[in-house]
Structure 1
Amino acid sequence: MKIAVIGGTGLIGSQVVKILTASGQEAVPHSLSTGVDLLSGQGLRDALAGADVVVNLTNSPTFDEASLGFFHETMDNLLTAAEAAGVGHAVILSIVGADQVPSLVYYRAKVLQEDILKAGPVPYSIVRATQFFEFIDAVLTETADETTVRLPATLVQPIAAVDVAQAVADVGLGAPLQGTRNIAGPEVFALDELGRITLAARGDHRVVVTDNSAGMLAAASGDVLIAKEGAVIAKTAYREWLTR
């Protein structure tokens, strides 16, 4: 099977390519560095030639209003090219609970991406993941100074990038879901608690202050970012990942 992985040199994409290649598939990574620009469409026709499946792991360079335009344009370009090339399955990666946090423009943009795929001409699958372990540092930095880190008590169920990549690869190898598969890590944390665990493991003596207005994820209330019944639960635990 030939699988075109757009965004195939990034955090998730590079691991998806590795997993698919190890399983005997012809997985081809494509990105700006290989001459494929999903936003302009440059190189897309050649990238999809002969592909059975396309996995789109590209991401907006910003989390603001421009992300809406990015996902609208890139999905239109992808689906037009995929239909022309006879691709039989399109896969994207989205976010658990994205439709439950309309105040976050980036989450609205991801829902727009999903909706364009659902309405498009190519059989599809959507993989929705919770927050990656690898992004926790960025979350801590967003609201930190030299002595404190302010974090909300938002509930999260983070997952290792390698487990996300495995889930995406598994979906890409299967028949189109014509729906969504949710994946999450094995543990639920309050984000402020997760911050304390992370800082302690790294010998960082800054104090975590609970502030339910701090940072992007403060907009998520209750359990909207937690995987619901039927989700695939990955095995890698956060503390185990930290020790690596």
Structure 2
Amino acid sequence: MPNVLQVNYPDPGFWTETSLIQLGYGVWVNLSMVTIGLAFGFSAVALPQLSLPESLIKVTIADESWIASVISLASPVGCVLCGYLLDKFGRRTMIIYSQLPVCFGWLYTGTASSAKQLILGRIITGVGIGMVMCVPRVYMTEVSLPNMRGVIGSFPNIAMSLGLTTQAALGSMFRWTTLCYVGSAYTMTLFLMNFCLPETPYYLLQKTSIEDAQASLKKFRSKKYNIEAEMDELIDFKNENDIHK
């Protein structure tokens, strides 16, 4: 018979302290995904403003196409890069520092004086967005119990939709340059907030010690939850999947 992963630790139930703690971290971590919606919604509100006769930056039809699409071309670069850095530096570290290229991209776009600079700013933002895409899903998969993964797995899509809606609402009231500064301020806020996040237990188990992993796991579970069975599962999983052996 094929090997089947058996979960020996108990399901705490949905409306329990342990599950609510995971929900809280799920919302927190996926605030980063709002930046993706803001970035993808930007062109829809900025291009009509750039096409106005009084716009200081003159854009052609080709420029408009690049401004709208280049973020999708650049984001795979960030995805691949972050996929490598996740295992090298950790999930928490990448959640923090993936915000920096997005922040810089927003600032550069907001201060642009030509169509080429706008496109370059969008490229920088796109690379950062690609990095942001990877981390929350990995982080929450490693810290959540099986009974919560379905619910928390829906958070990234909700966050991106929230970002798109927010960008559309702001675009009806503010100039595109102001939207850039709002996006930059939001990512900088996340950059500072995410320093308070703990590292995932499984990464610490791989890189440091069992004691560090236990201390981390306790932060994602309630005080009444017995983490011993879950730690045993993590240790067994690590030993069975150690590719360095």
Using the size of structure 1 for normalisation, the TM-score is 0.23
Greater Rg by CA: 2
Structure having the larger proportion of residues in strand: 1
Structure having the larger proportion of residues in helix: 2
